């Protein structure tokens, strides 16, 4: 029998008004809170919702309000240095993956013994020093559930994942109020990121019964709700479904790991600063079509999960349906799929190929082997 492992956040609160649970969390011996967020999230009024709860509880807090989107390792270090001065004993991250990823690093870096760049070299150094509460405002990266923190390494022009179980959140609150007014373009690309996590984990070489359960349920929720959640500001149930689905997909990442979509999209973020969700949306269909012969029974199982009892359809047709549905979602949500929209010149093809092939950690999880010539053909599809 194979062995597998799952480490997930300590306590997860979900459902309407679940932000009210902040009060309960503060009872676990918290004296001072550091709130991490960024300007757009503050403008959207989401940090005020959290601060009102802290004020009610009479707890001391400081707000670090200017976290950068898709941070470099040095930007993350600068936030960590500011954080150290607060001497807080709970970090509350109110934000998308960018904010949560920096909060996770800060939670293991209140020491001067090692820094972010040391963790890039040796994530084994990480030791949790400060507890974290993650309140995601996108649905999303699933960072609230994963042991990963993704930072840009400028000299490599590549995004790199620092992975340590020490960074897994202690508390998570999934309250769809945080995505109620999320702008459609952000809802769309972050939603497709969650979709990519779920289908990649479900077809990862490291897939196992734990990751399968979360990935398949996540897929069912996303395939049934993503367009409604993005298009209709009043669709509370669809947004709640996306919030839970992105968390599930994050749990699946913790148990299994993403594959070639994320591997080949990292240079697109690293070199051209294409937002993480958009770069994954670009790669999603080309990679899944490439993988299809090796993933057919798994793709068909997704069809069976969302359309149970349909016995007249062959496995091949079921699998084809899924690949087409992924393409339909990216199209319906009007996410750009051509690299020319981001000014990427065709001459950069070889740089992309060699950069993408460096992300061995994730390419190794892909069910179908990707050689440099395959990566070249996949990037070329985004250039036509």
Q: Which residues here bind Zn ion, judged by CB under 5 A?
A: 193
- Using CA atoms of 79, 82, 87, 90 in order, give the dihedral in degrees to the nearest 10: -30
123 touches ligand NAD by CB under 6 A: no
The residues in 129-148 that bind ligand NAD, with binding defined as CB under 6 A, are: 137-138, 140-143, 146, 148
The entry of ligand NAD, Zn ion, none that residue 12 binds, CB within 5 to 8 Å by partner kind: none
Q: How many residues bind ligand NAD (CB under 6 A)?
A: 33
User: Candidates 175-183, 202-210, 225-233, 325-333 — which segment interacts with ligand NAD by CB under 6 A?
Assistant: 175-183
The entry of ligand NAD, Zn ion, none that residue 190 binds, CB within 5 to 8 Å by partner kind: ligand NAD
Q: How is residue 54 written in tokens?
A: 């802290």
The entry of Zn ion, ligand NAD, none that residue 95 binds, CB within 5 to 8 Å by partner kind: ligand NAD
Dihedral (CA of 323, 328, 329, 331) sign? positive
Please, which residue, 239 or 318, has the CB nearer to ligand NAD?
239
d(CA 41, CA 137): 8
Beta-carbon contacts of 232 under 8 Å, excluding residues fewer than 6 positions away, are 238
The residues in 205-264 that bind ligand NAD, with binding defined as CB under 6 A, are: 253
CB atoms within 10 A of CB 8: 18
Please, which residue, 30 or 97, has the CB nearer to ligand NAD?
97
Among 25, 34, 76, 97, binds ligand NAD (CB under 6 A): 97
- DSSP state letters, 122-173: -GGG----SEEEEEESSS---TTT-SEEEEEEGGGTEEEEEE-GGGS-SEEE
Among 159, 239, 298, 318, binds ligand NAD (CB under 6 A): 159
Strands 158-163 and 148-153: antiparallel
Among 6, 11, 57, 69, binds ligand NAD (CB under 6 A): 69
Please work out, in degrees rounded to the nearest 5, the angle formed at the alpha carbon of residue 327 by the alpha carbons of 326 and 330: 90
CB 108 within 8 A of CB 127: yes
User: Candidates 96-104, 282-290, 314-322, 373-381 — which segment interacts with ligand NAD by CB under 6 A?
Assistant: 96-104
277 touches ligand NAD by CB under 6 A: yes
Which residue's beta carbon is nearest to the bound Zn ion? 193
Strand, helix or coil for residue 313: coil
d(CA 361, CA 141): 18
Strand, helix or coil for residue 283: helix
204 touches ligand NAD by CB under 6 A: no
Please, which residue, 99 or 357, has the CB nearer to ligand NAD?
99
Please, which residue, 153 or 313, has the CB nearer to ligand NAD?
153
CB 247 within 8 A of CB 145: yes
Please, which residue, 88 or 192, has the CB nearer to Zn ion?
192
Give the bridge partners for 11, in sequence order: 171
Smallest distance, ligand NAD to C-beta of residue 182, A: 4
Residue numbers of the site for ligand NAD (CB under 6 A)?
38, 40-41, 44, 46, 69-70, 95-99, 101, 137-138, 140-143, 146, 148-150, 159, 178-179, 182, 186, 190, 193, 253, 276-277
């Amino acid at each position: 029998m194979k062995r597998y492992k799952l480490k997930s956040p300590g306590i997860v609160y979900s459902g309407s008004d679940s932000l009210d649970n902040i009060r309960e969390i503060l009872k676990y011996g918290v004296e001072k809170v550091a709130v991490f967020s960024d300007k757009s999230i503050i403008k959207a009024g989401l940090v005020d919702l959290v601060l009102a709860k802290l004020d009610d509880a009479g707890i001391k807090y400081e707000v670090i309000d200017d976290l950068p989107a898709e941070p470099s390792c040095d930007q993350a270090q600068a936030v960590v240095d500011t954080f150290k001065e607060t001497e807080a004993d709970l970090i509350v991250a109110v934000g998308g993956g960018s904010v949560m990823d920096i909060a996770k690093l800060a939670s293991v870096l209140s020491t001067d013994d090692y820094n972010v760049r040391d963790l890039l070299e040796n994530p084994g150094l990480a030791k949790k020093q400060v507890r974290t509460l993650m309140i995601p405002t996108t649905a999303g990266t699933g960072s609230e559930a994963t042991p990963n923190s993704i930072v840009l390494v400028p000299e490599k022009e590549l995004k790199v994942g620092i992975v340590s179980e020490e960074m897994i959140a202690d508390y998570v609150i999934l309250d769809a109020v945080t995505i109620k007014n999320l702008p459609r373009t952000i809802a769309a690309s972050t939603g497709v990121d969650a979709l990519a996590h779920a289908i990649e984990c479900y077809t990862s070489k490291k897939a196992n019964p734990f990751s399968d359960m979360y990935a398949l349920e996540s897929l069912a929720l996303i395939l049934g709700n993503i367009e409604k959640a993005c298009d209709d500001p009043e669709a509370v149930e669809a947004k709640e479904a996306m919030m839970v689905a992105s968390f599930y997909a994050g749990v699946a990442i913790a148990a299994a790991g993403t594959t070639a979509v994320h591997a080949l999209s990292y240079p697109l973020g690293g070199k051209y600063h294409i937002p993480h969700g958009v770069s994954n949306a670009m790669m999603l269909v080309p990679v899944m079509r490439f993988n299809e012969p090796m993933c057919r029974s798994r793709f068909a199982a997704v069809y069976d999960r969302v359309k149970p009892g349909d016995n007249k359809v062959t496995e091949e047709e079921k699998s084809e349906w899924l690949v087409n549905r992924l393409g339909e979602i990216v199209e319906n949500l009007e996410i750009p799929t051509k690299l020319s929209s981001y000014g990427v010149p065709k001459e950069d093809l070889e740089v992309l190929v060699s950069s993408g092939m460096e992300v061995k950690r994730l390419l190794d999880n892909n069910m179908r082997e990707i050689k440099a010539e395959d990566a070249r053909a996949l990037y070329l599809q985004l250039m036509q």
